[in-house]
A and B are shown apart, each in its own frame.
Chain A
């Protein structure tokens, strides 16, 4: 089977775009070129303690207008990327100036005045782990073609891998992070293990996933293997220095008495 398109783009980014800090910008520029749009913005999002979406800042944008899309939406509290994040699905708006477009009047008025006609927002998520959003815009109206939409989704997956990688790096020495891999993939055990480890550590899913990935890297085993070990309860995560331990079989009665000094 040929390498997937996501792996291909990721490999190209890491080979061509220099240091990891430069990957987000390269990603937005390549995405813009491949989708024939006028601007792309990659932004982080998070949740407030009340569970409301908040902006985590723009990671990279091809131009200032692309970055403004992000800022305006959070300022007015509504827009395609917020809808995409709330509903966990891509959102397309082919024409903000169409009178039939009723979804985000304040945003549409503001961005229409700046010359933006079409907006396409892709949420960047691993299940309930909400990382951010990739937003594309055009100064002409119309939907993305099938190929362009497919490319946008590829770049959204690449963006997830890049964001996870940058998150790994921020927790450790710059060179000690695993290389970015196309996302965790379809293996249920990894997602189940994320939930279990989050409960074990009392942490967010995001931290749990990062810990699983880090352990797979240092132990030199595939992520799915680690996932399986966790789900079958042969491996647990904790806050010890080592970070993991293997729960042994329960002690039989009488162990406590053995070895007692006379």
Chain B
């Protein structure tokens, strides 16, 4: 296998490994977006979910730098994610002029952040678009067709990862699960702030502290975040259930 094929295979093995009993959705999505950006050869990315009010919620991002997170949140009104949600199809602009025409308010922010290209690949569950894999690149130009295929596979895996814990007998269960995932995200944001304040780090670095703690103590991100908020600091003893 070529190096790239090795990378792809490794990525899917890593993701498959996480689909187990102690599944941690937040860590899974973070792993997925990190791998997606690496495999698609783009420079930044995020997993976005649409809540019941069709507001964009960022579930995972390759960087927690405030500027990047803002680029996702700006797309509530306009941008590739909105178009992707409406059409249910990948949104792959041709070039910067095409982006300026399609998204006159969003594109300047994208360019200011140093990117030259943005795209969105839908996360679909049956007929619904529940979210998108949103990627940014500093170099211009669209994805190759094989990269697009890979992107679609990764977006599908992200959807599966989100809902895999429960058998879906009604669409409502899916919506509830998405809601639970969104709530986890809020907990993590609150914990980022608390860690940032206590350590003097910025919120992006604070996220990495939480993530390292989760990995080294082999616990879900949300649980670590919850413990920080309950006790005001990282736990030293694993809580009993």
Contact = CB atoms under 8 A, between A and B. Distances in A.
Interface stretch (B111-119, B137-145, B172-180): B172-180
Query: In which size bucket is the chain A interface?
Result: 35 or more
A125 interface: yes
Interface of B is mostly: helix
Contacts, number: 115
B193 A231 contact: yes
Query: In which size bucket is the chain B interface?
Result: 35 or more
A198 B73 CA distance: 24
B104 interface: no
B193 A191 contact: yes
Given A143-B170, A146-B170, A186 B203 contact: no
Contact of A186 (B57, B176, B187): B57
Contacts of A182: 53
A195 B229 contact: yes
Interface stretch (A82-90, A100-108, A110-118, A213-221): A82-90
A127 B187 contact: yes
Interface stretch (A147-155, A161-169, A173-181, A248-256): A147-155
A88 B55 contact: no
Contact of A205 (B69, B192, B197, B229): B229
A185 interface: yes
A187 interface: yes
Nearest to B186: A127
Contacts of B194: 195-196, 198-199
B190 interface: yes
Interface string B132-154: 00000000000000000000000
A231 B80 CA distance: 27
Given A127-B187, A154-B52, A192-B190, A200 B66 contact: no
Contacts of B173: 92
A193 to B, nearest CB: 6
A143 B76 contact: no
B230 interface: yes
Interface centre among B55, B58, B66, B172 (most CB of A within 10 A): B172
Interface of B: 51-53, 55-58, 66, 69, 73, 76, 170-173, 175-177, 179-180, 183-184, 186-187, 189-198, 203, 225-226, 229-230, 232, 239
18 contacts: A87-B180, A92-B176, A127-B187, A127-B229, A128-B190, A128-B226, A129-B190, A143-B172, A153-B179, A186-B73, A187-B73, A192-B193, A195-B196, A198-B194, A199-B194, A199-B197, A199-B232, A231-B193
The 9 closest A-B pairs by CB, nearest first: A195-B193, A127-B186, A191-B189, A195-B194, A192-B193, A89-B180, A199-B197, A149-B172, A196-B193
